Amino acid sequence: MPLAMLALGSYLDRQKYEVKILDGRIDDEASVLKECENAICFGVTVLTGAPIHDALRTTRKVKGKFPKLVTVWGGWHPSLFPEQTLRENTIDVMVNGQGEVPFALLLEAISSGESFAEIKGLYFKQDGQIIRTMPQPLVDINLFPRFNYDLIPVERFFKLKNRKQLDHISSQGCRFRCTFCADPLMYKRGWTGFSPQRMGDELEELWKKYQFTDVNFQDETFFTNRDRVEGIATQILERNLKFTWFGTMRADQGTRMNEDLFKLCKRSGLRKVMIGVEAGSQETLDWMKKDITIDQVFGSAAQCLHNNINVLFNIIVGFPHEPPDSISESLRVARELRKMSPLFELAIFYFKPYPGNHIADQLLREGYRFPQGLEQWADFDYVGSKNEWISKKQMNQVESFRFYQRIGWNDTMPLLSPIRKIARWRCQRHNYHLPLEKHIYEWIRPPENLS
């Protein structure tokens, strides 16, 4: 669900503005152009990669038909590349970072014909120059109004998901300092979350209205504050809300939760967490300032296993100058985690340098060339297998392990029992020669093309 647009639209005064949210995945460009007639502005939230293609094409068509309409971009990509974004002549203003307050003030200025210069958190064009205003401090989101889900076709998203799952963001920001991540630059390591009472009120109202069966909390780090987590779980139970839920958890957060809190979360419906392991080598984890230990990873995994909570573990391989034994250790740790439960899942990514962090700054000093301009960034691929810091031999090993671990510890396909035993044997010994069963399996079920 388009939660960024939902947050902006919900903040605006309904007595002043008629908000229309369109999603490029379910709405066509003709609908966008129709809604732009007599509009105050046209705003787009943009992620790096393929979404830029759609955003650029649509913005250019809007500006072509309505040349005087103010076009505004916000979201992760423009916030990290504001001046690069504004070099596109069809984009007038860029909202940087947390956008609720700056965007509302921007609309007031557009409506009254006033200057944008005093509005914090903007980049805009003036007399051919790009003007940057003062940064907008992170605002406590408890001061914002409730999300108005009436602004989006919730039931249509349920149908597309093939389940009645509600997406929600209960906090903004991240307090941590991982050197591969853009969060520290975006939020300045700030964090703010809705209070348990507010969460209880909103979830109850939404559940009675939409009767969803699951909530997917899209927070950067849902389990940041233990008291808040306990309060939210208690609210769900006391209000007798019948749904399951998913949240993001750091390994150190999991080990700081006691058994009673895990049990409370489970009773309230917690079905699954996502834990970023990133690397199996403690030395590599320390280098990237992840501020977790391998023992904490296994400790959190054990707690989840004990309480019948599923886990999705994320691993990243191929960091700049990462030694081969670090990658091997990551695969070993990944294998041991998968062995703990058939319900545990694993996602392996190749490191992709992305500006806004220490590793990217170091690469720039070493002469690394990032994509230049929106068109090049539109071709940026998060999950492809191209990576100049990992050898072809190890890349083949990673790809083989990625395939075989999915089968080796998957008990949901009884007919594959013989292949499952072979897959486990291969993962244990890293022996992937003559992978006939892999070719057969991929012939029957071609791998999904992700971007």
Length of the chain: 451
Q: How far apart are CA 285 and CA 373, in angstroms?
A: 32
The CATH code of the domain at 3-132 is 3.40.50.280
Which residues lie below 8 Å from residue 226, measured CB to CB, with a gap of 6+? Answer: 253, 256, 257, 261
The answer to whether 236 touches 268, Cβ cutoff 8 Å, is yes
- The pLDDT value recorded for residue 12 is 96
CA angle 326, 327, 331 (to 5 degrees): 115
- Cα atoms in the 13 Å half-sphere on the side-chain side of 59: 26
Which tokens is 379 given? 């071709």
The pLDDT of residue 450 is above 80: no
Quick check: 96 and 111 in contact, CB under 8 A?
Answer: no
pLDDT at 82: 93
Which of the two residues, 142 and 433, has the higher pLDDT score?
Answer: 142
- pLDDT for the residue numbered 384: 62
Q: In the prediction, which pLDDT does 353 show?
A: 86
- Which one has a higher pLDDT value, 419 or 238? 238
Q: What is the pLDDT of residue 438?
A: 78
Specify the residue for token string 């990551």: 330
Q: Which two tokens stand for residue 314?
A: 């994320």
Q: Are 190 and 221 in contact (CB under 8 A)?
A: no
- Interval 45-86: pLDDT, tens: 999 988 999 999 999 999 999 999 999 999 999 999 999 999
Beta pairing partners, 123: 94, 132
pLDDT value at residue 325: 94
- The pTM for the full model equals 0.90
Q: Where are the domains of the chain?
A: 3-132, 153-390
Query: For the ranges 94-103, 174-183, 188-197, 235-244, which has the lowest average pLDDT?
Result: 174-183
| Average confidence score pLDDT of the chain | 92
Least confident of 179-183, 277-281, 436-440: 436-440
pLDDT band for position 180 (cuts 50, 70, 90): confident
Instruction: Report the pLDDT averaged over residues 137-142.
Output: 94
Report the distance separating Cα 257 and Cα 299, nearest Å: 11
Q: What is the pLDDT of residue 352?
A: 87
CATH of domain 153-390: 3.20.20.70
Q: Are 103 and 72 in contact (CB under 8 A)?
A: yes
With a CB cutoff of 8 Å and minimum separation 6, the contacts of 240 are none
> Quick check: 245 pLDDT over 80?
yes
